[in-house]
Amino acid sequence: MNLTLKIWRQSDAGKKGRIVDYKIDDVSPDMSFLDMLDMLNEQLNNKGEEPVAFDHDCREGICGSCSLQINGEPHGPDRMITTCQLHMRTFKDGDTIYIEPFRAKAFPVIKDLIVDRSSFDRIQHAGGFISVNTSGNTIDANAIPVNKHDADKAFDAATCIGCGACVAACKNASAMLFVSAKVSQFALLPQGKIEATDRVLNMVRQMDEEGFGNCSNTGACEIECPKGISLENIARMNREYMSASLKG
Amino acid sequence: MSGFLNSTIARKFAMALSGLFLVIFLAQHFFINITSVFSAETFNEFSHFMGTNGFVQYVAQPILIFGVVFHFVMGFVLEIKNRNARKISYARYNGSANSSWMSRNMIYSGGFILIFLVIHFIDFWVPEINIKFIEGDMSGLDAAGNYRYYDHVVHSFEPIWRTVLYIVGFVFLALHLIHGFQSSFQSMGFNNKYSKALKGFTTAYAIIIPLGFIFIALYHHLN
Ligand code: SF4
Ligand code: FES
């Protein structure tokens, strides 16, 4: 298939970027989206042009590093997948595809399609952990009974790969789905109860400081999340936050 | 408290609470208005009671006005932060792929409702406050010695422009409530197995109440 790509090019964080058009021919429908970008970059290299910078690592939907806003949706039009799992058969011959970086004030562009998502790391550092004694007398996690329902919900929340698609999809660039997943994975487990109050207060404070928007409950994040993280987590975080605030 | 209201979650919680309060007020307003379709006398009596009762005028009304002002001021504050959170917008943004139009345009439906409310206040609230609390005539009677409330309503809906304006206002109200009413529960942390049923109820409410108001406006216009 032959395609027209409209790709955001920006040489570095300080420079102004713009959309540049590229034609690419003979794309196989079996290629992944990132394979297609590799092919484009090879052609650009051969012509002596600067290849398009984009994030990727595992290429199997588990690391969360690939990003890309494709035709106005994070990770493209398919559901429950990352960009590396998106196949070119999703598109038709002759299509024009917009490829832009995930946009948020808290995700500044580093180069072309690569954005700096370290704001997520700082939110995690603010409270996305539990303190476990690792000096030799650690209690086996399995020794603490957890009911199946809570364990399942905690595990579902823990499948968040921190890709940032929720922020990219949200009209307010809100990080509530990500943060709520990181709060919920501990809030539901006995191991997470000890630091529960500080965790939610600190993580939400950091989220606000990073400049993410507010949640309007549009639900766009849940639809676009490659891991199917549910809005229930946001409601849980709201409850956790309000009760933590009352406790002081 | 102001420190507390700096956090995004607390603000949304406050937004939800004030919104729910306004939703309840709306039902009360509707039930009084609908009596005007059945009995001018009942409507007059209700209106006179609401306009002269001390609790309604000095307690409920200030709370209501505070609720309205808080809801829209906070709405604008949140909107500004949301806009700041994405400085460069997408060249292509496919919002309809993942969210409803209503949910993405609360600021516009809300903004129109605000304009409508100002007009509505000028139409009904300001004249009554003027006669009762400025001129000091608490009787509620017109020159002929009859209650004026019902006639005021009928008279107001004679011109087609006002009737249409009110209908458009109620359509925006419905659009605002379809998202806002159910969304308020999520903001307050309520999302569980009852949420689906609740969404059915809130959606029905968001459509039926504005439709009822439209019916009342049209009824008085056509009669
Ligand atoms: S919640 Fe979903 S979309 Fe957001 S960072 Fe986690 S995996 Fe990505
Ligand atoms: S490259 Fe790891 S999730 Fe796509």
ipTM of the complex: 0.94
Of A16-25, B2-11, B59-68, the range with the lowest mean pLDDT is B2-11
For A181-197, give the secondary structure using H, E and C: HHHHHHHCCHHHHCCHH
Question: Are A23 and A80 members of one domain?
Answer: yes
* Domain match, A95 and A169 both: no
The whole-number average pLDDT for the span A61-81 is 97
Nearest residue to A227 (alpha-carbon basis) of A178, A179, A190, A187: A178
Give contacts of B 132-171 with A, CB under 8 A. none
Q: Which residues, listed in sequence order, are joined to residue A32 by a DSSP beta bridge?
A: A87
Ligand 1 pocket mutation, candidates A67, A85, A120, A160, criterion most atoms within 8 A of CB: A160
Q: Mean pLDDT throughout A88-93?
A: 98
Number of independent structural domains in chain A = 2
Co-location of A219 and A178 in the same domain: yes
Query: Are A22 and A141 found together in one domain?
Result: no
Average pLDDT in chain B: 95
Q: How far is CA B116 from CA B20, B113, B120, B166, in A?
A: 19, 5, 6, 7
The SS3 of residue B172 is helix
Strand A3-9 relative to strand A96-100: parallel, antiparallel, unpaired? Answer: parallel
Interatomic CA distance for residues A10 and B65, integer angstroms: 49
- Same domain? For A164 and A211 the reply is yes
Domain span including residue A79: 3-111
Which of residues A57, A83, A111 is at a domain's end?
Answer: A111
- Segment A93-106 mean pLDDT: 98
Q: Does the structure show a pLDDT above 60 at B2?
A: no
Domains of chain B: 2-86+104-222 (1.20.1300)
Give the atom of ligand 1 at the shortest distance from the alpha carbon of A162. 5
Between the CA of residue A234 and those of A179, A227, B9, B173, what are the distances in Å?
A: 8, 15, 10, 26
Answer yes or no: do A17 and A98 share one domain.
yes
**A38-53 tens-digit pLDDT:** 999 999 999 999 999 9
Give tens-digit pLDDT for B109-141: 999 999 999 999 999 999 999 999 999 999 999
Q: Which of A201, A217, A232, A246 to mutate to test the interface with B (most CBs of B within 10 A)?
A: A217
Domain boundary among A111, A130, A161: A111
pLDDT in tens, B195-213: 999 999 999 999 999 999 9
Compute the average pLDDT of residues A136-156. Answer: 90
Q: Is A168 in the pocket of ligand 1 (CB under 6 A)?
A: no
Say how many Å lie between the CA of residue A157 and the centre of ligand 1: 10
The answer on A123 and A90 residing in a single domain is no
Asked whether residue A50 falls in the same domain as residue A168, the answer is no
**pLDDT reported for residue B6:** 87
Tell me the longest C-alpha to C-alpha distance in chain A. Answer: 63
Higher pLDDT, A141 or A69: A69
Last residue of a domain, one of A111, A139, A158: A111
- pLDDT per residue as tens digits for the range B42-53: 999 999 999 999
Q: Which ligand is nearest to the CA of A161?
A: 1
Whichever domain contains A26, its CATH number is: 3.10.20.30
Q: Which of ligand 2's atoms lies nearest the C-alpha of A64? A: 3
**0.90 exceeded by the pTM?**
yes
Verify that A215 and A243 share a domain, yes or no.
Answer: yes
Let me know whether A129 and A239 are in one domain: yes
> B6 CB near a chain A CB, below 8 Å?
yes
Compute the average pLDDT of residues B177-204.
97
Q: Which residues of A touch B82 (CB under 8 A)?
A: 171-174, 213-214, 216
- A151 in the same domain as A54: no
Q: Examine the pLDDT at B1 and tell me if it is beyond 60.
A: no
pLDDT at position A139 is: 79
- For residue A232, the domain's CATH number is 1.10.1060.10
Q: What's the mean pLDDT in B64-90?
A: 97
Query: What is the secondary structure of A204-231 as a DSSP string?
Result: HHHHHHTT--------HHHHH-TT---T
Cα angle, residue A214 at apex, residues A213 and A216 outer, rounded to 5°: 125
> Do A48 and A144 have their domain in common?
no
Check whether A248 has a pLDDT greater than 80.
no
Residue A35 has pLDDT above 90, yes or no: yes
Tell me what the mean pLDDT of segment A215-232 comes to: 98
Close Cβ partners of B107 (under 8 Å, ≥ 6 residues apart): B75, B76, B79
Across the range B103-110, mean pLDDT stands at 97
Most confident of A97-111, A134-148, B142-156: A97-111
- Best B2, B80, B84, B99 member to test A by mutation, with max A CBs in 10 Å, is B99
